[in-house]
A and B are shown apart, each in its own frame.
Chain A
Amino acid sequence: MFHWLEKNPFFFAVAVFVVIAFAGLVEILPNFAQASRPILGAKPYSTLELTGRLVYIKNNCNGCHSQLIRPFKSETDRYGHYSMSGEYAYDRPFLWGSKRTGPDLMRVGNYRTTDWHETHMKDPVAVVPGSIMPAYTWLFKNIADVDTAYAEQLTVQKFFAVPYNTELPMADGSKVTVALADTLEGARASALEEAKVVAADMKDQAVKDAVAAGQVPEIVALIAYLNRLK
């Protein structure tokens, strides 16, 4: 039946490809359009939040922290409401992670503050005795890459019609608009405005000085992102 295949490399390769491609077609395609629809209350990332998300990715936070709450009592007790597909509609890439060396961060903004994050990032053991997380001291010195985040915003707006500058209905009936600047200068300025709000709650003098001087340290962007995870 298949005997001739092993002697005909071309048809052999075609047969292998058909057999392996089959599963992807059946499993992945049917749900594609539906799964990317945002849920009520989902909103795109602001420039500073997206900058912070890039810092999160750069330091591979997703290597140890998940962002996926499974529908078990033990998980909803610990982390909050279980995850829903539409909540991730603006996540490119997804950051579910595959290992919980540290706790889930899907809704960390609900129960941690700017102040807590600042102390924790400088010296994790100071707030969580026994923690095996390293201190992320360089986040306080490095300047975040706002420009790339802005480029990413323009990209998702253009190619995936992410609704920036659009009134979005929230679950409580209010309306929210996430602004996207027209120019790079505008984007930098709006990121700095957001950064000032975060820095106001921080204690590190060097970070406060940097923000006052018009710069956004990585830690400020990262905290803006973490506070937004709700």
Chain B
Amino acid sequence: MDIATLQAYGFFFFTAFMVVILYSYIYHLYSSQKDGSRDYEKYSNIALHDEITDQPVEEILKDDEKK
């Protein structure tokens, strides 16, 4: 097999691989939203409730507070 053939195979399988990645990512996003294991859409509120006095959507807990 010459280099061009190898490149062609490489290109084909890489493209196929990327397609699989893309679709499984989409499936993952929408299925985990649907079964409730994760709520992505709540993060949109980061922009809507952005006064410094607003409660963060997910607060960072300081280490000393955890203890």
**Of residues 8 to 32 in B, which have CB atoms within 8 Å of A's CB atoms?**
25, 28
A2 vs B21: C-alpha distance in the bound complex, in angstroms?
Answer: 12
With A and B bound together, what is the CA distance between A2 and B28 in angstroms? Answer: 10
A3 / chain B contacts, CB cutoff of 8 Å: 38
Chain A residues within an 8 Å CB radius of B25: 1-2
Counting chain B residues whose Cβ lies within 8 A of the other chain, the interface size class is: under 10
Please give me the residue from chain B that is nearest to A1 by CB atom.
B28
Q: Nearest chain-A residue to B28 (Cβ)?
A: A1
Closest A residue to B37 by beta carbon equals: A3
Q: How far is A162 from B28 in the complex, measured between Cα atoms in Å?
A: 56
CB neighbours of A2 from chain B (8 A): 25
In whole angstroms, what is the CA distance A7 to B38 when docked? Answer: 14
Chief secondary structure at chain A's binding surface: helix
Tally A-B pairs: CB < 8 A.
6
* Chain A interface residue count, Cβ-Cβ cutoff 8 angstroms: 5
- Which residues of chain A (1-22) have a CB below 8 Å from chain B? 1-3, 6-7
Q: Which residue of A lies closest to B58 (CB)?
A: A7
Chain B residues, Cβ within 8 Å of A6: 43
A3 to B58, CA, bound (A): 14
Closest B residue to A3 by beta carbon equals: B38
Closest chain A CB from B29 CB (angstroms): 8
Least Cβ distance of A16 to chain B in Å? 16
Q: How far is the CB of A7 from chain B (nearest CB, A)?
A: 8
Q: How far is the CA of A229 from the CA of B50 in the complex (A)?
A: 61
Cβ distance A25 to chain B, nearest Cβ, rounded Å: 14
What residues of A have a CB within 8 angstroms of the CB of B28 in the complex?
1
Chain A residues whose C-beta falls within 8 Å of the C-beta of B43 in the assembled complex: 6
Residues of chain B lying within 8 A (CB to CB) of residue A7: 58
Task: Report the bound CA distance from A6 to B43 in whole Å.
Answer: 11
Q: For residue B58, which residues in chain A have a CB less than 8 angstroms away from its CB?
A: 7
- Chain A residues with CB under 8 Å of chain B are 1-3, 6-7
6 contacts between A and B (CB under 8 A): A1-B25, A1-B28, A2-B25, A3-B38, A6-B43, A7-B58
* 6 A-B pairs closest in CB distance: A1-B28, A1-B25, A3-B38, A2-B25, A7-B58, A6-B43
